[in-house]
A and B are shown apart, each in its own frame.
Chain A
């Protein structure tokens, strides 16, 4: 199901959560809503789900204007950051919930639940209670539960935020594969740019209730439309107020190979495994850091106190504001 959001506005008291937000989402795609806290990404997700009503604007799912349709009639599956398990029900009953409230035939329900538990690899745990599962397992249960009534759209609100790093990485990977298998239009909210870049086909970057840029991960990284997007997605150096530079776009050369290059003093060299971070002090007092490989660092015999030449590749200039 394709989703269209048109000119949606939403305020909470004086706080503008969403300001004239319009987003297209292709059928079957995997989209990330990315932004810092307060950017409105969760609010937008909840508006699409029908858990919040916009003050103005429209939400269209598969050609139908659902702006005034309540959540339970929209056919969306929703997964919460804190899993929102039904604590007093077993895992099986949790997953079956969406089918049971629609008075689905019993045998069919049981079959589907078993199928889903297998899909999320929780088979054998059907009779446990959510409190007896780990965080990662609870989230997989939440996913199975959301998928049971065969929603047209799957929405996930910071689904991996409450989990530790390793589980998070595993589930990210798993979500990507699940999406390939199930092919349901999926939107997830995250503040982690790495997560968005790794999982999503399309990223919607949001800030303070507005859309900054929409595009594929690579597109956003290589052609950011403004300072915010560039700083949010990937590391960045700021020069002279409105020039921005990626650390790996700073070429470091020996001082005699100069010729049109800026002089810099090496203040600190940090070895981070494969990558080497070089903190540089420029002649005009500005400080930047460059990213080079181990080999390059060895070649240049990088050391503190060294004076080198730097060249800047594709710096980007954005207007102030």
Chain B
């Protein structure tokens, strides 16, 4: 049994092997292709004959408008898959475009080992040299050993529209050693540099001549002002070896190139973002139904080609019941040959603070589409938002909003003072100072006065006799002055003089008024000033008599003089 099964397996494998060899011969075909459909006069194109699962001997085809340069470059490719074998042979011929108009490549009938095949006819479009910087650079290069070329993608743009500038060195010498080169300033442009591999010379065919070309820089330029902007300053210094021992320095500078920058076509719509080669905008909300105080997000994404880095946050007014945080800006922008490509997204986090149904506020934006040559306007928003109280207690939701910050609508200075407390004349300063000085002097003066009084009082306490004498003298002077005033009135004079003399004696004796008696006073006088005692007695009695009988005594002046004389003598005698 086992022996029979082994023979069956071998049989199946043999059948499969025979079958696979039976499928070697695949479908054969032939085609003619070109590497570029649009060329400039003088540039090279490559025509490739491709034979699939067949082969042929072909000669260089002559094509009107194209001049054969070199070739063919041959390539073969054989693959096995799923038990099938396939082969491919390619013959590439290089031509230089000599025609000024489009080149018609005819259909060719090709005899192969698997039969005859017909290729498709096609047209190679030949562009006018006109604005082509490449062509201009190529023409210039052919006249120079070393040429610097500033190649612009566009010469007429609107402000903000990107222009790609390529900086290239063309050299007809194989041994050029580039020592240094300068990059233009690009005055009037905002520039972004395109990352390139390290520059190296590569061969290229120009007008049928091989030339070395190196691309040393590529910039995306965004014109920031209108008018004719000139780009220059692309210069090189280098060294060329002419023999094993000799060489010479070379220098070259690029011809300045001009870009005509026009303003944006009027009328410019509101909320304008600028000029872009291509742009699209999209608004996306994370949710449309949510609970109060639950955050949701809204993204505004700008995608396209242009100066995306210049995009600013759009002006967007949300209802005051929504707390809107400053957006996070997310950039996915790369600098490529065609300009800034990618997206800028404004990511908003928003928290609704009250329940209800709302709409995402409308947002209008516009930009200039450089490809279409017109302004584009877009309106976003309007989506319905439903904010519910949620599963928690309603009061918890509402309590957050029960108080809110005061919204400052306007700010201004506080109002004027309607009433003035007081006005102080400027001229009052001197009087104020004088008043202050007077006030300050009162204190010391008062103290000095009190001090003097105190000293006097102390002195009096120490000298009782002297004090009495001074008091008596002071008293009699005063009384005599009073008496003299009434000397023309005898009645008053006699009373005044009598009082005066008694007061003098009271002061002299150091008595009080109640202690005074005439008898006592005369007795004391008899001891202190005995010679004057009789005169005192007669004078006092005469004054007593004069009060009751005015005509019986001496005249008032005589009595006054007698009293003055008596007091003086009493003072002298009492002193001794």
Answer whether A and B are interacting partners: no
User: Taking beta carbons and an 8 Å cutoff, which residues of A are in contact with B?
Assistant: none
User: Taking beta carbons and an 8 Å cutoff, which residues of B are in contact with A?
Assistant: none
